[in-house]
Amino acid sequence: MIVIPAIDIKDGKCVRLRQGKMDDVTVFSDDPLEMAGRWVKAGARRLHLVDLNGAIQGLPVNADVIGRIVAKFPDLPVQVGGGIRDEETIQAYLDAGVRYVILGTKAVNAPHFVSDVCIEFPGHIVVGLDAKDGKVAIDGWSKLSGHDVIDLAKKFQDMGVEAIIYTDIGRDGMMTGVNVEATVKLAEAIAIPVIASGGITNLDDIRRLCQVADQGIVGAITGRAIYEGTLDFAAAQKLADELSK
């Protein structure tokens, strides 16, 4: 299992939100490129980049910053989400060297779009399902849809997405521990990989996820914990490697 550092970008800066609230923001660095270098030096095997402004506005806002990060580390798989709502944006990110694009709100609101882009860009489409109490949230987590997480994940699997990123938004940025039970429930219900996100706080969370990794959980995205120091990123990846042997 790989541990994936998150770099959330708002107004060109590396930030973290609590529960996706744009007015509850902590700035951790004025230079996301420098922050990316820090995680790469610590042994990151993938980066998770989110254009927070893009997620709200529905189109890329921080694509230039993301492009600089990808150009700096051309051999590192990078996954990008936030404001990806059309084929042109996907093409632009892939042309820039991004490995995976993450669809969220657009995937939930227009499932046929997912089907189309999985055919057009095979191997590059990931869907992010952000949920609270089993129901999927959209529009930067500002609205709860009536869709069940597992039902949607099965549909996207059939369409050909590469993986599902599952975030428990009740825990994201709250440092309350990862929702292992809900993540496992989803992973057991589908055949494609699941990446856990939301609430990862310390090595115990990594240990708990590694114990169930054989259910199909291939990665864990971590943000606030590695910025505030409750989780040592290098130690987390080392532990995941040891437990995966």
Cα separation, 147 vs 153, in Å, equals 10
Find where tokens 């949607």 sit: 152
210 alpha carbon, distance to own chain's centre: 18
Nearest one of 102, 108, 15, 115 to 60, comparing CA atoms: 102
Q: Residue 211 is encoded by which pair of tokens? A: 């114990």
Among residues 23, 75, 130, 151, which one is catalytic?
130
Contacts of 229 (CB under 8 A, 6+ apart): none
8 assigned to active site:
yes
Find where tokens 């921080």 sit: 62
Among residues 8, 168, 172, 205, which one is catalytic?
8
| Helices within 31-179 (DSSP H only) | 32-41, 52-57, 63-72, 87-96, 105-109, 111-120, 149-159
**Contact indicator for 105, 130 with CB cutoff of 8 Å:** no
> What DSSP character marks residue 161?
-
130 assigned to active site:
yes
Residues labelled catalytic: 8, 130
